Amino acid sequence: MKITILTLFPEMFNGFKENSIIKRALNKGIVTIDIINIRDYTKDRYGRVDTPPIGGGAGLIMKCQPIVDAIKSVSSNKTHKIILSPKGEKYCQNKAVQLSKLEDILIVCGHYEGIDERVNNFIDESISIGDYVLTGGEIASMAIADSLIRLLDGAITNSSLSEETFENNLLEYPQYTEPKEFEGYKVPDILYTGNHEAIEKYRRKEALKITKIYRPDMFEKHVLTKQDLKLLKEIDNKIENPKWLEQALEKGKKFTK
């Protein structure tokens, strides 16, 4: 995969490319990351890439000319062009999986008070990483790039991907390390039994439980299996009110075999 990022602050990406999974993926040739300085494409006589908004208003707006020229210079007909914007589709794991199947992606990072609206005529989609304000799109672009790269073949093991949070709309089950007891908090005994079937059942139950408690929005999207139903009925009533299961059934929730 090729990822191209257009930014006013290319130095922000130095550490991003030099650590952990991203660095290994680059070294293996699994992905290439090109950081393009938008300032290199301005035709402004003073080298500016921003200007006060027409009609008045606070702050500065990024000019369309340098951004569009940069896009045209570094992309092709195969490039999927993304602009980071609060108007865009909210980013999620399903979107990451979808984008990870593409070969060539370009991301435009905004800054200041926004980007000239006409830039949208030269991109394919807008994406938002959440309902909050950042000083620019650089951090958001790193988050998207990271989420894509780790899904590429060879970046990390398939087993790590299969049991992750957000897969099948469930949070990941709790994980533990040694020692067995730390300041009064103990690792569940079942994890020491060596009974892989029982451990798998325990972990599935925990995933269902914590998703229902902490992310009911995700739980509503999860398609429960017959095994899931059995596990949910076993959950301690002191932690879970069983009425939620009845309510799910009343809503006509479909269950797989």
Q: Which residue has the tokens 């005529």?
A: 121
Please write down the long-range contacts of 30-34, taking CB distance under 8 Å and 24 or more positions apart: 30/1, 30/149, 30/152, 30/153, 30/154, 30/155, 31/1, 31/2, 31/3, 31/149, 31/152, 31/155, 32/1, 32/2, 32/3, 33/3, 33/4, 33/5, 33/145, 34/2, 34/3, 34/4, 34/5, 34/74
State the burial class of residue 134 (Cβ atoms within 10 Å of its Cβ: 0-12, 13-18, 19+): middle
Q: Is the pLDDT of residue 256 over 50?
A: no
Question: What's the pLDDT score for residue 172?
Answer: 87
Q: Is the pLDDT of residue 55 over 50?
A: yes
169 phi-psi bin (left φ>0, alpha ψ -120 to 50, beta other)? left
Question: What's the pLDDT score for residue 201?
Answer: 92
Q: With bands split at pLDDT 50, 70 and 90, how would you rate the model's confidence at 130?
A: very high
Question: What's the pLDDT score for residue 252?
Answer: 44
Question: What's the pLDDT score for residue 240?
Answer: 47
Secondary structure of residue 108 in the 3-state scheme: strand
pLDDT digits (tens, 9 = 90+) for 102-114: 999 999 999 888 8
Distance CA 150, CA 95 (A): 14
pLDDT digits (tens, 9 = 90+) for 178-229: 999 999 999 999 999 999 999 999 999 999 998 888 888 888 888 888 888 8
pLDDT digits (tens, 9 = 90+) for 146-180: 999 999 999 987 655 555 555 577 888 999 999 99
Mean pLDDT, residues 124-139: 93
Cα pseudo-dihedral 113, 96, 98, 81, rounded to 10: 30
Residue 129: closest CA among 169, 165, 82, 92: 92
Residue 255 near residue 223 (C-beta atoms within 8 A): yes
Question: What's the pLDDT score for residue 30?
Answer: 97
Question: What's the pLDDT score for residue 170?
Answer: 86
E strands present in 53-206: 61-62, 80-90, 104-108, 125-128, 181-182, 185-186
Chain-centre distance for alpha carbon 246:
33
Question: What's the pLDDT score for residue 238?
Answer: 45
Mean pLDDT of the chain: 88
pTM: 0.77
pLDDT digits (tens, 9 = 90+) for 33-52: 999 999 999 999 999 999 99
